[in-house]
Structure 1
């Protein structure tokens, strides 16, 4: 008789982390037009850029009538954020017009600006409409999630990625159409597709849904510009970081269902790479357009 009991593997609580992410995005009001946000302890040395974009958007949204939703935002990453310290968001009320509201937000940490954002909000209006058709993509059900792939391949990854992959909670589930090994890359055209959705069902207001989307929108873009160059993420000669981030919303994203990020990188040069994504609902409705320029320095010996 075999008396050895099998030990069940311990996996991160991805579903539970979705609720914790919503709590994280609900920035605390300190006083008029001043808010404070915390960070997650995901093992990284700097604050994840999508978190700062989302928290800044939430701070701006809290100063705007709920009937007006963010239709576009433009932001710049100025300094790396320290996840061990809170971030203060200062909102400037630039304009409250008949149809549009404009806000500016500065994220401050240790007395210095680390990020700024300009956002425009609009009352809902009917109007002329058109869009590119949704591109062909295999359905997400037949694809492996990034979290599952990371757990399976963690032992072959270098540190600190090995530990982070095994322990990091992922409140947003991503499924890449083409799965790539970031430590053994092969040069290919700068195009990629990813499905994404919340790791657990969410019941949120439209402003929170847009902030949750903003959080997710920074996950995969910068990878696209690296595809033609076949440089591993842990290459010591490579320096990458998000420089700016812009989103145009066509509709309120529903992360209870799958969204398709259809990404490309039209150019890279001067130590920077430009990345774009058209985002569609599963039914083919255009949801958002995202553009990001990233620092992409390669310094061979």
Structure 2
């Protein structure tokens, strides 16, 4: 999902090659890999924020490359610009801000979320056969929708999505792995869950193209291998364009990150 092969001092090529052009991985794949590439020249720093602009959706049935540029360093931050390139065409542009580990403040914590995790995990132990749960898969990620309201919120107005996500394979805790995987899940799973809510034929029933994605990290180090709660809200819908805000929580109720995303719904695949 994330590792790239080095082409030059700050240029990388995608190692993940999927031969079926009809299968799309979208902005999640790009943001995770671009973040991994940016971090290779920011050793010892922690990801603080990122902003991704997609010029078009990528397709991974051909090689995809990333070019990293330095955007400066002003203590206690360091910035990188990463361009996603398909042949001679620029597909994406992402700005990444890194911070010194000691500069992160204690992240906010929600007792309601911690209780929701207890209920979710108890339900998991009962519903092992999957007949009592809503479950969908993206590449590398399990997704389950929650009917449980957190902090008095409901999903009755079709604006709120409470989504449990977990990586299908554990990643190392050191380096940029956890931040890159969390960005991948946020950029991929929110539009997927929206499609799950509206379609009956699994994730093949949704088709969204991401235009913009941004993320702010409240914690410089965390474990991404456990179940995480993505509390997403549709802030605005104009025809086929959706704007989401998402809060990502760990099992302890600690908020790991916030993200904003704009997606365009399309009809069918290329």
Please indicate, yes or no, whether the TM-score normalized by the shorter chain is above 0.5: yes
Classify 1:140/1:173 alpha carbon distance in 2 versus 1 (closer, same or farther; 3 Å): farther
Residue equivalent to 1:50: 28
CA contact (8 A) 2:207 2:266 kept: yes
Measured against aligned partners, the alpha-carbon deviations of 1:56-95 in whole angstroms (never above 9, x if no partner) come to 001110111x221110000011122121111110111010
Q: Report whether the alignment pairs 1:79 with 2:56.
A: yes
Indicate conservation of the 8 Å contact 2:31/2:52, yes or no: yes
Which deviations, in whole Å up to 9, do the C-alpha atoms of 1:141-172 show, x marking residues without a partner? 5249xxx869x99xxxxxxxxxxx8xx88422
Contact 2:209–2:263, Cα closer than 8 Å, also in 1 = yes
Q: Normalising by the residue count of structure 2, what TM-score does the alignment of the two structures yield?
A: 0.78
Which deviates the most, 87-96 or 186-195?
A: 186-195
Q: Is the 1:36–1:86 contact (alpha carbons within 8 Å) kept by the matching residues of 2?
A: yes
Identify unmatched segments of 5+ residues in structure 1: 1-20, 154-164, 180-185
Q: 1:41 to 1:193 in 2, by over 3 A?
A: same
> How many matched pairs?
248
For 1:48 and 1:101, locate their aligned partners in 2 and report how far apart those are by CA, in whole Å.
27
Contact 2:69 2:82 in 1 (8 A): yes
CA contact (8 A) 1:140 1:175 kept: no
Pairing 1:214–2:183 present: yes
CA deviation after TM superposition for structure 1 residue 49, in Å: 1.9
Match of 1:27 in 2: 4
Secondary structure of the structure 2 residue equivalent to 1:49: helix
Q: CA RMSD in A?
A: 3.4
Q: Of 96, 118, 131, which aligns to 2:108? A: 131
4+ residue runs over 4 A deviation: 126-130, 223-228, 230-234
The Cα of 1:260 is off from its aligned counterpart by: 1.0
